[in-house]
A and B are shown apart, each in its own frame.
Chain A
Amino acid sequence: MNTGNAELGTTGAGPGPADAAPEEHPIAPYVRMDRMPHIWCPTCGIGTVVKCFATALGETGVDLDKVAVVSGIGCTGRVAGYMKLDGFHTTHGRAIPFATGLKLGRPELHVTVFSGDGDLVGIGGNHFIHAARRNMDLLVILVNNFIYGMTGGQNAPTTPLTAKTSTMPFGNFERPFNLAHLAASCGASYVARWTCLHVRQLTWGLKDAIQRRGFRFVEVIAPCSTLYARLNKLGTGFNLMQFYHDNAEVRHGADTREVDIGFQDKIVCGKFVDDPRPTFLEMMDEHYRKILGDKYVPMPPAGGFIPDPDSCGNPDPNRHRDGAAASPRGPTP
């Protein structure tokens, strides 16, 4: 388990006698350690968000077998491949609709979308607003580094005014999204923002969000030292963390109209919206029950999978349906 990876701190060199067995990193059970080292740059903020999410999952005690993570494309898009959960690395911008299919196909799942700003509100913006409108039961963790990282630092719909990107070499003149306000005004039932510096608050916020229902949006401002900081001469990831320290302001319940992020301007953080309202599935169930009464047959929590009744009378869906093609590695029913 000792990968020596700086981002996740998996050095195993904890306190204690030198000959002690290497200590497992606290989030190792949640991460595909066989895929370490990851592809993220030194001082990138994404790993911090992964750590906070894994910690939050552990503290909530949610059944990890029922947690699915869906990512789109980009730096943060790689999260689904690193979490030791059912993980889906999908197409650019389509993590939210893919996740919607997972949730509606098996309503008992806790589905988390973990992706970046370009993916979720650039190419995928239409899905973001509609999932919020429907109050689709998804936790959306958006890592906002203000830039397209994977492709080399192009302008994003979140790039602050005047910030330089590789496609806005003279500075950005497009007004960026205020994502918290976008989510809130579309109907998200939970909206929060933290930075990668706020590890305790972020962990607490993710725990808070995991335990709620509906469309929950957590934006995390993350340093991109390789591109955003370099193109804007902001120093390293460390300098950005210092900037968050000096300029982040926690204001729970802030009016989301007032939480825009300007270039090197203050970053308002906190839980802005916590307004539980019926989710898509709850609305649908209630409506059909009212209209159709006993004739309504909801999809079971375990999903619309129809097991083969002739298959040895075994209702366990984990068993093979077809003895002839059974796995050589597993028991044949």
Chain B
Amino acid sequence: MRADPAGVLTGVHYLDGDFACGEGAMAAGCRFVAGYPITPSTEVVERIARRFPRMGGTFVQMEDELASMAAVVGASWTGTKSMTVTSGPGFSLMMENIGLAVMMETPCVVVNVQRGGPSTGLPTMVGQADMMQARWGSHGDYELIALCPQSPQEAFDLTIDAFNLSEQYRVPVLVMMDECVGHMTEKVIVRPAEDIEVVPRRLTAAPRGEFQPYRVDGRPVPEFARAGDGYRFHTTGLTHDERGYPVMNAECQEKCVRRLVDKIRGSAEQIVRFEEEGTEGADIVVVCYGITARVARLAVHLARERGVKAGVLRLVVVWPFPEQRIRELARHIRAFVVPEINYGQIVLEVERCAAGQAAVVPVPHGGGGVHDPSAICQSILRAAQ
């Protein structure tokens, strides 16, 4: 459906990534946000707190990130699109309830404006070291979706996409920003509401007595009933059957968790999104995401000037990972070069998918700044030798 115009600030703006992310959420129809202040993400909720009272939205500053995430899951069960925003330490605190959202199949969006870690780390400076936590941070086996914007414009666009994907797959969707993108100010175009496509919460039409909250009938995701619509359903973080009732045995675990994993794995090729530049006939492909993609492009340009056939594959959706495309490229290229602001996270996925068919060269950076393009360029040149 078209976006609710109340949340769409149509026009050409000069916004930082945090504000743009907040605008994206409101445009997507988000009307509940719970958050706890944490640098460098707080501007997202500050923007929303100022605008929500004029559009029927409620922002609540909770007592911590555990509460923020729990409130988001609760609010989403009323059919209200819900989001929370944080950075590393808060992201750690949210993990258990992100798992609850996965288990209860609750659509919601979690924004992590990444800073340097571990622990308190570098509160005001950039990092990209939560990428594996995004994938594996909550206990147990699960799949979810994570997006990585490289600019304020994308912070706006991908936050809308995050809400849409969360509705489509009934899964928490993570917007893995970084401090650089969050605090960088650029032109952001907000299209008119009628040009913004949003996925509404799809409510069940089942008669009240017959509704089962986790019955799928062959679809990848079950139908949704809101709290308060009279379905009197039950949902739990325990392993459950189609009625949402806990069942403690291996058979139910297999059925319940298998579907949670398969609904994303089975649609991975529709969910994955990446951009390629100059990968056709390339010897070296730089795999990158977020702010590092913008640095990497310059590095590739420098390498091309030195005669190396180098290209860029930028991950827009990081989880699920574009396994198939990396495998294809591995058969034709000499090496992947993977710069990221951590000591080697997404490079492990690239290595796994390349499976020895192409070399994989990490270009780590501990955080607190972005790569020097010449460092990435040097890695490209060495890999090409």
Contact = CB atoms under 8 A, between A and B. Distances in A.
Interface of A: 32, 35, 64-66, 68, 70, 80-81, 84-91, 93-94, 96-102, 104-106, 108-109, 126-127, 130, 280, 284, 288, 292, 295-300, 302-311, 317-322, 325-333
A139 to B, nearest CB: 15
Interface in B195-250: 200-207, 210, 217, 219, 223, 226-238, 245-246
B31 A299 contact: yes
B1 interface: yes
Contacts of A65: 228-230, 232
Contact of A94 (B67, B76, B231): B67
A305 B97 contact: no
A84 B208 CA distance: 13
Interface stretch (B79-87, B309-317, B353-361): B79-87
A105 B1 contact: no
A330 B70 contact: no
Contact of A308 (B1, B53, B68, B204): B1
B237 A81 contact: no
Contact of B100 (A84, A91, A96): A91
B354 to A, nearest CB: 38
A303 B79 contact: yes
A320 B70 contact: no
Contact of A66 (B70, B81, B228): B228
B371 to A, nearest CB: 39
Nearest to B219: A325
Nearest to B57: A304
A304 B205 CA distance: 20
Nearest to A127: B67
A209 to B, nearest CB: 20
Give the one of A311, A329, A332 with max B CB within 10 A: A329
Contacts of A98: 70-71, 73-74
Contact of B74 (A35, A102, A296): A102
A42 to B, nearest CB: 21
B233 to A, nearest CB: 6
20 contacts: A65-B230, A90-B100, A94-B97, A101-B34, A101-B70, A101-B72, A102-B75, A104-B32, A105-B75, A105-B78, A292-B54, A297-B56, A303-B80, A304-B32, A306-B4, A310-B1, A319-B203, A327-B223, A330-B205, A333-B205
A76 to B, nearest CB: 14
Please report whether the interface of chain A is mostly helix, strand, loop or mixed according to DSSP. loop
A299 B71 contact: no
A329 B77 contact: no
B203 A317 contact: yes
B97 A91 contact: yes
Interface string B33-74: 010000000000000000001111110101110111011111
Given A288-B53, A296-B54, 4 more contacts: A87-B233, A109-B227, A299-B57, A311-B200
Give the one of B53, B217, B230 with max A CB within 10 A: B53
A97 B231 contact: no
Contact of A327 (B70, B72, B77, B204): B204
Contacts of A104: 32, 58, 60, 71, 75
B200 A307 contact: yes
A297 B55 contact: yes
Contact of A318 (B81, B229, B238, B245): B229
A329 B81 CA distance: 26
Q: Which 7 A-B pairs have the closest CB atoms?
A: A101-B74, A304-B31, A105-B75, A305-B79, A105-B78, A304-B80, A101-B71
Given A64-B232, A68-B228, A327-B223, A102 B79 contact: no
Contacts of B79: 105-106, 303-305, 317
Contacts of B132: none
A296 B369 CA distance: 42
B210 A329 contact: yes
B29 interface: yes
B228 A326 contact: no
B89 to A, nearest CB: 16
Give the one of A68, A97, A331 with max B CB within 10 A: A97
A329 B63 contact: no
Give the one of B63, B76, B227, B235 with max A CB within 10 A: B227
B323 interface: no
B2 interface: yes
Contacts of B64: 126
A320 B228 contact: no
